[in-house]
Every structure is written in structure tokens, then in C-alpha cells.
Structure 1
Amino acid sequence: MRGHRAVVGNAARVTVAACAAFSLCRYGLGALVMSLYAAFTVVALGALARIPGSGRQRAATTLMAVPAGTVLVTLGTLLAVRTWAAVFGMLVIGFMVAYAGIAGPRIAGAAPGMQLLYILPCFPPYAPDTLDQRVYGFLLGAALLAAAQVLVLPEPRTPSFPALLADAADAAAALADHHGGPAPERALARAHTAGDRLRPSRVPPADLPASPTLAHKAMAHASEAVRTLLSQLAALQRAAGAGGSFRAETVALLQAIGAAVREAADALRAGRGPLPSAAALQAELDPVRTRRAVAALERLGGDDRLVSLRRRALAVQAADSAVVLVLATRLLLGDRTVDENPAGHAFAYARVRAPVLWWRRLSTHFTPRSVIFQNACRFALGLAAARAIAGLLDLSHGFWVLLATLTLTRTTSLETRSVVRQALIGTLIGAVAAGVLLALVADRNTVYAAVLPVVMFSAFTVGPLRGQAWAQGGFTLVVATLFAQVAPVTWQLAPTRFADVLTGSLIGLACGVLAWPRGAGSELRRSMAGVCTAVADAVGRTAAQVVERTGGTGDTTGGSGIVALNRALLLAEESLAQYQSEPRERTARQPDWPTVLAAGAHARRGERLLPGRPGRIADRAVSGWLRQAAGQTADGYRALAERLCSGDADDPLRGDRPLDIRGLPAAAPPPPADENPPEAHTERAVSAALLVDSVIWLDTLTADLHRIRAELSAPPPRTG
């Protein structure tokens, strides 16, 4: 029902704004050109575009599109002088507008409508003298649509992303307040709900921090930290068992975590200072980290040694995540000095200028391996071909050809074929209905003016609810009713509309067949293999840095290594999102792709945190063991990458076993556990803490690798 209400609300907003704009220009001002541009602007940005968000968010996006829309209308008008100029402009502008989707869901949602703002004026007659009417019509249509989005059945507001972060931080604080006894089921359930609401698939698209701006990067960093914190605190509470209790130092650490994340929650809700501080938590954390590491290494001889390491590290890891959450909150609220904090090595991007951040995002997707790049090329080539054909054949309503190409081209040939078939059926029926309407009403504009709101509301309601056939049929009636009020038309407009849609459909079908016909399916395995390769490289780099400190701490987040891992994750996330949205003839069994992405996130978190920790693993035996263990984990991910690239189900996977630390006790005799150790012993204790953190990190990555391998090796499900 909520989806139905949203469709009805959007249809009402578009109908009110479009009819008001058209009637004002056509009958109030007598400006025919202006009336068409005003109405088509509303249709483009209100119906063709899919701008997400509340009423105010949609209105803001519409108004932000005004400068770019003005440029597009102007370029379309000026380049219509020659077919070759219009085609070249369509190629360049079509690519740029589609590629702009890298900026986030709101810009990506507006892109189809922005394409139409160039398509409409780039056809003969070449009339630069009407440019002012075209621009005024566009501005009026955008203004009325923005007003309608706020005033006419507006979409309700959703909690902002900082509010979701604050709720999750409060849920983490509630878990940290529990210091023993039965597991706090209510707090655990609240933590699960709060963490789940921060999943990218659950966040409303308009609120998702998906752009490369500093604020969005800080929000994404905070989200990763608080979700990790929630899972770590939940694991800590469950590990205590029924009736269990925590040691005094764990209780003190949990209290410091709770106080720090509550400060962060308060600041996130207020959107301003006072800024939260991690100083008290860090002062509590450092001695606990070293003491627990020493105690854990002393007990490595038991059979449960890895289980013991994990359990002893939970509270420390939770405190690390809480520190990152506090620093990310400070950065979000404007403190760009967070990288000066002892734990601020994860925030090297805090001082990077905005143009550099944007350039990284632009260059990341500028590759044939990006589904966004593929989609931009597919649409640009299709629209340019449609413009060339319409110009060479001198079609009287050539923009309908491009409109059909724009609306019917899909990311897979399978989906394009299905959509084209439905569209042609719907257009044929709509053309017959439009022909009857035009023949009966003739040139009586008052009838068309009375019918237009009903036809428009019905088309924009039934189309999204009933499918492409209904949408094309309804839009054919809308077009006929509009054009009949601008210039004398006959029933012959209807077959012209059908012929143009047929031409555009064939062009879209050709693009779907020739340009990456499998959609994201052809890239998904390659991009996930790229993540595995990047994880392997990150493991090797991090192990070398915690042993030798090569490259310094600044390189851990700002250098090419972490950038390459971020790039691989971004490409894989886009591929997976598109793949999941594409219909398929059969559902092939797929590996656990989210686990691959989780492994990439775990690798990134370790590469951000571990090299900046105090201490150095200088002992040759210990560093040799760590290098060997890291090498085995990295080799496992490289073998997995080869397997994913080849797609060979019979290709054996090598080294399918958990992290083996049996050789560590012999290589690393336990450091002394004196209450007041001398300086040399303190260095050894700090190194022990770094070693334990590194082992836990490798264990997490090895567990991820084991899950992915198990999924790949499992027999396919039985059918029939």
C-alpha cells in the first residue's frame, strides 16, 4: 500500500505542476514554445526521473538541477543547427549526464530527466530566437514542480543518516552498560535493529552517504565503526554466558566506551558542539590492551588458544571501534584535525581537498570494468545513434525516437527485449486511442484542456503500477493531448508516434544486444576477484608495516594501497547492486558476495588501524611467523581471485584451513607480566599487543575466506 500511495502522490504532483505550467503559458501568456517546455520539464524531472527522498529533499534536488538544466536546454538549442553537431552533443552530454550518477542516488535518479532537457531542444527547427522562451519554460516548470513536491501529498521525511548513527551509538551505549549477569536480550535486540537500519540496502537512497564529499566519507566511516562496535559488544555479552561477570578492568573499559559513544550520539543529534572526546577512553584502553595481550600470549599452549585470543580481544576491539566512531563524529562536525589524534591514522583523508576527493571518485569509475561507465556508454551511444537516424530520415517528431531509446534501454539484453515488447504493445493501443480522440475532438482546445489532467494523472498512476505497456500507452495519450493544444494535428499523429517508438525501441534493443548484453553479470565475478586481490595485497602491506614500519603511517590511508582497496570495493559494490536489480531467466547459484565485501572491509579496517599502533614486532622469529601467516592468508585470497575469474567449478581451492598459530608459542616467548616493568619490557608488552591485534585481524580474514570457499565448494541445489 505504501508503494501505491507513493505512486499516486507523485502522479498528483506531476499532474498539478504540469497542467498549471502548461495552462499558464498556453492560455494565459499565449507562449506556445514556453508551454511545451514548461510541461515537459515537469514530466522529465517528476515522472521520467526517479528522484528519491522526502518532499523537501526532492524539491531541493530539482532546484539544484536548474543551472545544469539551463545549460542543457541552451546547448540543445544551439547544437540543433546541424545534425552532426546535435549527434556529437548527444554523445558527449549523454555520457556525462549518465556518468554523473557516481555522485550519489539523488543525482543518479535525476539523470534520465536531465537527458530529456537536452533531447527536447536539439531537433529542428533551428530556432535560437526562441531560446528565451525555452529557458523561461524550463525555469517555470522546475519551480512549479519543486513547489508541488513540497505542497501536494509530499513524501514523508525519513530519519537523517546522523540520526540513525546517533540511535546506533545509543544502542551501543546500552550494551556497554551491561556488566554481567544474563545476556541483555532487549539491548541485544535493540542493537541488532539499530545496526540493521544502517545497512546501505536499508537506508533511504536520499539519505545514503554515497558521494565523495568529506561529510559523506565521515558518515560512512562512522557507520562502519558503529556497526562493528555493535557486533563486538554483542559478541562480548554473549561470550560472558548466563550469569557471567566481567573483570574490573573490562567493566571500566565498558564504562568508558558507554560515556564516549553517548557523547558522540548527543553531538550527532545536535549537529554541532560540544564535540565528543575519546581522550578518557584512550587513557583507559592503552594499559588494558598491553596487559591483555601479555596474559593471552602466556596461555598460548592450550588447545583453545585462538578462542582465548578472540575472547580477550573483544573488549579491546570494541574500544578501538568506539574511538574511531568518536573521531569520525568530530570530523563530520568540522574538526579536520582528527588525524593528529594517536588513533587518527585512519583519517588521513580529513585534510584532502574536495577536488581531490571528487577526482578519485571520477577516475575510479572511468574504466570499462565499472558498470556505471558501461551504462553511460550504452546510453550515450544509443541516444547518439537515435539522433543521427532521426536527423538523416528527417523525422517530424524525432525526439520521440530518442525518448523511446532513453526509456526502453536496459542494462541487459534480456530485460531490454522484454521491455520493448511490452512498450510496443502499449504504444500501439495508446496510438489507436489517441487517433480516435483526435478524430472525434478535432481542434476543440477546451476539450483537450479538460481531458489533459485526467489523462495525465491516469497515465502516471497506472503506468508505474501496471508495467511498461500501460506506461507507454498512457504517455502516448498524454503527448497527443498536449500537442493538440499547441498546433493543429490530425489522427495521423498517432501512427507517427508508434513509428517513432518502434524506431527508438529497435535502437535500444541493438544497444542492449551489442553493448555489455549481460549487464552486471559479466563484471560481478571480475570485480569480486579484484576485491580478493586487493585484500591479498593489503594483508601483505600491513604485515610488512607492523614489522618494519616501511612507508610510514601516513601511507596506510592516503597512499595508493588503501586507495586501490577502496576502488576495488566501490566497483564491486556497484556491480552487486546492479546485478541484484536485474531480472534473469534463471537464478544461477552465486557465492556469498556480501562476505567478499565484508572481507574487503575487514582488510581495510586493519590496514587503517594496525600500522599506526605504537610498538614494533622486531623479534625475527615472531616477525617471520607473522609474515608467513600473512602470506598464507594472502595466497588463499589470490587463489580465490583466480577461481572467481576462471569461473571453473572444478578448480580446486588450495589451503582450505583456519589460521594456524601452533608455531607462535615457540617463536614468541611470553613477555614478562610485571606490574611495573622496565622500559625494555614495556616495549615488549606494546609489541605483544600489536601482535595479538594482528593475529586477530588475520584470523577474521581467514574465517571470511573459509566461508567463501565453503560456499563455492558446496554442491548446487537440487532442482525438480
Structure 2
Amino acid sequence: MNPQQGSSPPSGPRRPAGGPGRALGGLRHLRERGTHALRAHRSVVGNAVRVTTASCLAFYLCRYAFDLTPMSVYATFTAVSLGALARIPGSGRQRAATTLTAIPAGLALITLGTLLAVQTWSAVVGMLVIGFLVAYAGTTGPRIAGAAPGMQLLYILPCFPPYAPQDLLQRLTGFLLGAVLLALAQRFLMPEPRTPPFRLLLADAVDAAAALADHHGGPLPGQALARAHRAGEALRPSCVPPADLPASPTLAHKAMAHAAEAVRTLLARLETLHTVSGPHCAYHPETIALLSRIAAAARDTAAALRRGTRLRPGEGPSAAALQEELTPVRAHRAVATLDRLDADDRLVYLRRRSQVVQAADCAVVLVLATRLLLGDRTVDRSPAGHSFTYARVHVSRLWWQRLTIHLTPRSVIFQNACRFALGLAAARAIAGVLDLQHGFWVLLATLTLTRTTTLETWSAVRQALLGTLVGAVLAAGLLAAVHDRDTVYAVLLPVVMLLAFTAGPLRGLAWAQGGFTLVVATLFAQVTPSTWQLAPVRLVDVLVGSVIGLACGLVAWPRGAGREVRRSMAALCSAIADAIGQTTTEVVERAGNTDIFAVNRALTLARESLAQYQCEPREDPAGQPDWPAVLVAGADARRGGRVLPGRPGRIVPQEIGAWLHHAADHTAADYRALADRLRADRDAPHHGPQPLDIRGLLALAPPVPHHGPERERRAVSAALLLDSVIWLDALGADLRHIHREM
């Protein structure tokens, strides 16, 4: 559709068709399209220039200046593997840092590959183990995940005959040279632009929350609401550059992710407070006081985030004043709300009155998470510190938890690591048994063509074989025409590399494979005497690697995340049900312990399976449940498990605790029923979840006295009760939304 359709006709006289105005307009249109295309493709072209420059410079130095052939091959392939095959995210500085950080692992992989190449069986076992470990290491963050394919190649390259441990020093030196040159190119040659750090995005969102909290009734703050919406969206993982995501298992990244969750929830609660209350509603004085405290705490937090310096004792934002204001408001509102529950069977009044209290809770968590991010590990001593049990956990345990969280066949990351490891080991075994002339290419084809579904792998194989066939024909012609004139190959190498590394990402897999075939022919013709027969060898090796990739795709989880997303979401629903029971027990009986790690693990596995599922092509993507709504329910369950057990007070009398247990059991049973339905993978008859039985609660809850020694204790108990009711009500609303979408 023309983007101008539906717009008003232009004013002014029309120019004659075919006149100079139309010609100039056409030129302007072409110029605008060219400018837009240039900006869109700048990253691809820049990366091609960087990889070509680093790899060619490394090759020419080692091959022609030093006359060290093994060193030249490893220097070149290091730049190609970490620059073109890998997908390291981030700015030029971030990419260079990741490349340099990968040097110790690269040295170890090349050494192991060289030593294990002594026998086929040892190379195959090494490929199986190392292939899995390198692929699985991507669980620790986007940068390592992006570098993993290139790191695989660093082990693949030396694990083939000839067994030449005497060349190990040259190989390692070549790798170091290639990595350093690539890092320099990433940093200084057409570097990727810097993006705002996540900490500053967080500060912008906190500032937006402060501006929204400054609104104390009256007309809706349209600009503040729009700003808050933009700031909240900017913190979504899909909107943040992968290199800037707080996704690693470090304490700082965990605190940053915790702060991001808190500020997004704070923005949502403030937005709901202002929009539900109406455009001309006058706020209660205690609401205004609480909003003022929220705004002050948010501004201090934003200022600390922008400074980014480590906090000294007594410095930085504090949640003490906000907590002092929040405690009596929470108790007072709980008492006032209980008095009106008999006319509020749908909890409309309760939800509206609770918004500002929930917003204050989120602001407190935000302040503490920011303090932890900036070095204060004593935040768990705060009255709201129950959410920060990880604050004093040793960093090694945090890394261990992250590495083991996906160590299950139900994890798509584990499945992918197994699929790649099996494929690479099978390719190495076949290349060794058949004594293929260039077995390295077989493994390279298996590595680059294996996908998470058989359908996607078959599509990739078809494109790759077509591109390799065309590239092989062109390479055979080139080798036959040029023969052994190295000068011609040396002149052609940067041109062929630049075209291949540009056309591949822009035009698709067929162009990538065809271009890389030309690159290989031009490169190896300068290393060893080569004839036109090198081209068909390359085609046969790619065909063998493609068949192996297809076979592994058929054997190992051929449907990718299609079935796993249902299993992981069902497991998440079961974890939510368990968390509901455990949290309620801890709130009512002050006993037991909510297993937050179980909910975290289920939530992480579900998110990963959904992310992969959304990236896989589907023949019939319709008819799926609202999977993000299930993730929201998991986040709500985790939030209650973090916050409610740390609330002061005790639920009395015993009958009210029994009612809360009963209500929680019903909600948990509904989530278990949903889990069973998802596991069954069919539209079974079901009954929608029922709302909370508020009438039953009112029949048991005695009125809170307005005076006397028992008032304060009973008011705190009422606040704990209503916080738990709000939590269960939110989980029930999540469940009803999921059922509606199904």
C-alpha cells in the first residue's frame, strides 16, 4: 500500500506529467531511499570492512612478511570467526572488549584442538564435550552467546590432521595477532555507535516516575503519562541493545534487573492510579503525602544512577522517609477498606485504594535495588530487604546458579547445545573415517547450517547448497584462469572478502555460502598449490555437512521450541501454584520458606523457550495461548513471594488465616488445572477461575476497633491480610485473562 493513500490531496497547481518537477521529485526520492538504505546497512558494511581489514592485514603479514603459513591461516580465520561468524553485540568499544576477553578461552581451545587431533576418537570426544560447553556458555549473557559460534570455529580448525603439535606456537601467535587486529578494527575502524547505558535508561524511567508522582489530582497529566510510557517501553528487553541488557549473573546485573522490574511496575501503578481515579478527582491528603515521598525518593535515585559512583556509608538515596510515611497509610487504608468490603464484592474499591500503596512499595524496592547496584550490600537489613536475599550471596554461587538453571532437557538452550555438539561430533567422526581432504569444511557447514527446527534447517540447506554450487563454479573458473599466480590472489582477496561479508548478511544464506566459497578458494590458493578441483571438494564437504545437520535436526528435538514452549509454560503454572501455597503458608503461619529460586528457574526457562519459539518459522502460528500473559503471572507470583513474607504483623484470628489458605488453594488449583491443560495440548472442557469469596471473608473478619490498645496490632494484621488478598486477586485476574485468550 502506498503510504500516502488516505492523505489529503496536495494544494497548489499540478505540474505537467513528465516535467522537470517530476524528474527532480524522482531524484529526491532516489536520494532519500539511498540515504535510508545506507543508514540501514551501515552496520553490515562497517563489519565487513573491519573483518576484511583485520584478516587481510594479518594474512599478508604472516604469509608474505614472515613466511609463516600456519600462523597466517590461524590469524586470518581468527578475524573471520570472531568478526563474521560470531555475532558479538554492542558498540565498537564493547565488541573490542569482548574480543579481547575471549583471548584466554581461544588459546585454550586451539591448544586442546591441536593436542586432541592425534586420533580421530579423541578429536570426536573433544568435539562432543567442547562443542556442548561452548554452546551452553551462552546462558551467561548475550555477549558470550554472540561469540560462541566463533569460539566453536577456534576448536574446529586445529582438530584435523595433520597432527602437528610443533606448529602450536605459530597457531597461538596467529590467533593472538588476529584477535588483537580485529579488536583494534572494531574499536577504531567505522566503529558501531555507542548506545545509552542501561543505567541511564533506568535513570530516565525513574525521572519519569517522579514526574508522574508529582501529579496530585486534577486533569490527567498527558505529557507525564506519555513520557512514562516511553520510558517504560525503553526498558523492555526487546528494546534494549543486547550488549546493554543486565543479563549476566553478576550481582550488579541482578540488582539492575531488579530495579528495572521495580520501576516498570511503579510506572504502571502510578498510571493506573491517575487514569482510574478520573480526570477531576481530588486526592486524599495521605495520598498526596505518599506521592510526594515517592517523587522525592525517585529523584534521589535517578540522581544516584546518573552519577554511577560507588556509595559511601550514609550517602545516596534512602527509603527510610518513604517507609515511615507508608507504614501508617498502609494500616489506615486497610482498616478503611475492610469497612467497605461488604459493598465491594468485585474489589473495585480495594484495587483503586491499593494503587498508591503498591506504588510506594515499588519505590522502596527501587531505592534498595539502586543502593545494591551502587555497592551497598546491607540492603537486606532494611524492613523491605526480604526481596534481596541474593545481596550477600558469593559471586561464585550466583554464577553456579546461572550455569545450572538450564541444565535440564526441558531447556531450549540445553537442547540447542546438545544438537550442535552431536552434529559437530558426528561430522568430525565422518570426516575422520572417510579421510576427507578438507574435513574442516564439513564441520563448518554443520555449524552454520544447523537450525533449531528441521523445517528451518532444510530451508537453510537448500539455500546453502545453491549458493555453494554457484560459488564453486566461479571459484573453479578463477583457479583455472589464475592458476598459481599468488599476486593476483593477493589483490583479489580483500575485494572478494568485502563483497562476501557484505552480500551475505544483506542478501541471505545463499549469497553468504557462495561468497565464502570464493573467499576460501582465494585464500587457500595462496597457502598451498590449488587447482580447480578445490571447488568441487568444497561443494561435497558442504553437502556432507548439510546432511549431518539435517540428520541431527531429525533426531534431536526436530520441532524446536514448538512443543517445549507448552511444557515450559505448564511448568511455570505449576511453579506459580507451588509459590502461592508456600507464600500463603509463610504469611499465615510465619513458617516455611518460599522457594523463589524454583519460580525464577521456571520463569527463565519459559522466557527462553518463548523467545526461541517466536524466532522460528511456523506453518500455522495461529491458535496459540497468550504466552506473555503466563509470564506476567509468573512475575506476579515471584513478586508476592519476595515481598509478603517480609511484611510486619500476623493474620488473626485463626479463621481468617484458614480463609486465606482456602482462597490460595483455590487459586493454586486453577493454575494446576491450567498446567494440566497445557500439557495435554488440546482444548479440554474447563471452568474459568472464580473470583475471591469476599463475602466469606467478611463473615469471619471482626471489625478493627477505632480506639484501644489492640487497634495498632489489628490494623497491621489487616494490612497484611489485604496485601495478600490484592496479590491473590492479581493472580486470579492474570488467570482469567489467559483463559479468555485461549
- TM-score, normalised to structure 1, is 0.96
State which of 318, 338, 346 in structure 2 corresponds to 1:297.
338
The Cα of 1:621 is off from its aligned counterpart by: 2.0
Match of 2:27 in 1: none
Question: In the alignment, does 2:144 pair up with 1:107?
Answer: yes
Distance of 1:209 and 1:653 partners within structure 2: 40
Aligned to 2:655: 621
Return the offset for 1:28.
1.2
Letter paired with 1:389: I
Q: How far apart in 2 are the matches of 1:22 and 1:242?
A: 69
Matches within 5 A, 1:445-594: 445-551=486-592, 555-556=593-594, 561-594=595-628
**Aligned residue among 289, 292, 296 for 1:259:** 296
In structure 2, how many angstroms separate the alpha carbons of the residues matched to 1:589 and 1:356?
Answer: 41
Check the 8 A contact 1:183/1:238 in 2, yes or no.
yes
When residues 297 and 305 of structure 1 are mapped into structure 2, their CA distance, relative to the original with a 3 A threshold, is farther
Whether the 8 Å contact between 2:465 and 2:542 is mirrored in structure 1 is yes
- Report the residue type matching 2:392 in the other structure: R
Deviation at 1:201, TM superposition (A): 1.1
1:391 alignment partner, one of 410, 432, 439: 432
Confirm whether residue 661 of structure 1 aligns to residue 702 of structure 2.
no
Is 267-276 or 117-126 further displaced after alignment?
Answer: 267-276
Q: Is residue 606 of structure 1 aligned with residue 640 of structure 2?
A: yes
**Conserved? CA contact 1:639–1:654, under 8 Å:** no
Kept in 1, the 8 Å contact 2:688–2:739? The answer is: no
- 3-state SS of 1:521 partner: coil
Separation in structure 1 between the aligned mates of residue 630 and residue 101 of structure 2, nearest angstrom: 37
In 2, Cα distance between the equivalents of 1:139 and 1:653?
A: 62
Offset of 1:403 from its aligned partner?
Answer: 0.3
Tell me how far apart the structure 2 counterparts of residues 696 and 242 of structure 1 sit (CA, whole Å). Answer: 25
Cα offset, 1:663, TM superposition: 1.3
Aligned match of 1:21:
58
Tell me how far 1:514 sits from its aligned partner.
1.0
Residue 618 (structure 1) shift: 2.4
| Pairing 1:194-343 to 2, within 5 Å after superposition | 194-272=231-309, 273=311, 274-303=315-344, 306-343=347-384
- Aligned partner of 2:686: which letter? L
Alignment of 1:144-223 (within 5 A): 144-223=181-260
Matched, 1:691 2:728: no
1:532 touches 1:637 (CA, 8 Å); kept in 2? yes
1:613-652 alignment to 2 at 5 Å?
A: 613-649=647-683, 651-652=684-685
Q: Secondary structure at the match of 2:694?
A: coil
Q: How does 1:41-80 map to 2 (within 5 A)?
A: 41-80=78-117
Are 1:672 and 2:705 counterparts? yes
Answer whether contact 1:98 1:111 (CA < 8 A) is retained: yes
Per-residue deviation, 1:303: 4.0
CA contact (8 A) 1:410 1:512 kept: yes
Partner residue, 1:718:
none
Q: Could you say what secondary structure the match of 2:342 adopts?
A: coil
1:117: which partner in 2? 154
| Counterpart Cα distance in 2 of 1:238 and 1:361 | 40
Q: In structure 2, how many angstroms separate the alpha carbons of the residues matched to 1:659 and 1:703?
A: 10
Q: Secondary structure at the match of 1:156?
A: coil
Deviation per residue, 1:92-149 (Å, 9 max, x gap):
0000000001001110000000000000001111110110110000000000100111
**Residue 667 of structure 2 contacts residue 689 of structure 2 at CA under 8 Å; is this kept in 1?**
no
Q: Deviations 1:378-428 (Å, cap 9, x if unpaired)?
A: 000000000011111111111000000000000000000000011001001
The amino acid of 2:731's aligned partner reads L
1:215 is paired with a residue whose SS is: helix
Q: Is the 8 A contact 1:38 1:137 kept in 2?
A: yes
Residue aligned with 1:443, SS: coil
Partner deviation per Cα, 1:40-65 (whole Å, 9 max, x = no partner): 00100000000011111111110000
Alignment match, 1:681: 711
Residue 706 of structure 1 aligns with which residue?
Answer: 736
Which residue of 349, 363, 377 corresponds with 2:404? 363
Local SS of the residue matching 1:201: helix
1:448 Cα deviation from its structure 2 partner: 0.6
**2:397 aligns to what SS in structure 1?**
helix
Relative to structure 2, which stretch is displaced further, 492-501 or 620-629?
620-629
- Residues 650-688 of structure 1: per-residue CA shift (max 9 Å, x gap): x122343333312111111221234xx42x221100000
1:235, 1:690 → 2: CA distance? 22
Whole-Å separation in 2 of the counterparts to 1:252 and 1:373: 51
Partner of 2:11: none
In structure 2, what is the equivalent of residue 404 of structure 1? 445
- Equivalents in 1 of 2:703, 2:723: separation in Å? 15
What are the superposed Cα offsets for residues 325-381 of structure 1, whole Å, 9 maximum, x if unpaired? 000001111111100000000001101111111111122111100000000000000
Change beyond 3 A, Cα 1:305–1:375: closer
Deviation at 1:200, TM superposition (A): 1.1
The letter for the 2-side match of 1:211 is S
Of the structure 1 ranges 565-574 and 657-666, higher mean CA displacement relative to structure 2 is found in 657-666
2:53–2:185 CA contact under 8 A, matched in 1 = yes
CA contact (8 A) 1:169 1:265 kept: yes
Gaps of 5+ in 2: 1-36
**Are residue 429 (structure 1) and residue 459 (structure 2) matched?**
no
Equivalent-residue separation in structure 1 for 2:689 and 2:239 (angstroms): 34
Letter of the structure 2 residue corresponding to residue 278 of structure 1: A
Tell whether the 8 Å contact from 2:576 to 2:634 is kept in structure 1 after alignment.
yes
Aligned: 1:440 with 2:481? yes
Alignment partners' CA distance in 1, 2:281 and 2:55:
66
Report the more deviating stretch, 300-309 or 117-126: 300-309
Q: C-alpha distance in 2, partners of 1:4/1:655? A: 50
State the TM-score, normalizing by the size of structure 2. 0.93
CA deviation after TM superposition for structure 1 residue 305, in Å: 5.7
In structure 2, the partner of 1:715 is none
**1-structure distance, mates of 2:125, 2:133:** 12
The 2-side partners of 1:191 and 1:673 are apart by 39
Task: Please tell me the residue identity of whatever aligns with 1:409.
Answer: T
Q: Deviations over 1:608-660 (max 9, x none)?
A: 100110001021221121111111111110000000000111x1223433333
Distance in 1, Cα, partners of 2:308 & 2:279: 39
Alignment length (residue pairs): 701
Q: Which amino acid aligns with 2:720?
A: L
Q: Percent identity of the aligned residues?
A: 71
1:180 CA displacement = 1.1
SS of the residue corresponding to residue 349 of structure 1 reads: coil
Residue by residue, what CA displacement relative to the aligned partner does 1:216-246 show, whole Å, maximum 9, x if unpaired? 1111110110000000000111122112121
* Contact preservation (8 Å) 2:63, 2:72: yes
Q: SS in structure 2 opposite 1:212?
A: coil
For residues 661 and 414 of structure 1, what CA distance do their matches in structure 2 show? Answer: 52
The CA distance in 2 between the partners of 1:213 and 1:103, in whole Å, is 9
Letter in 1 for 2:589: E
Query: How much is the aligned-residue C-alpha RMSD, in angstroms?
Result: 1.0
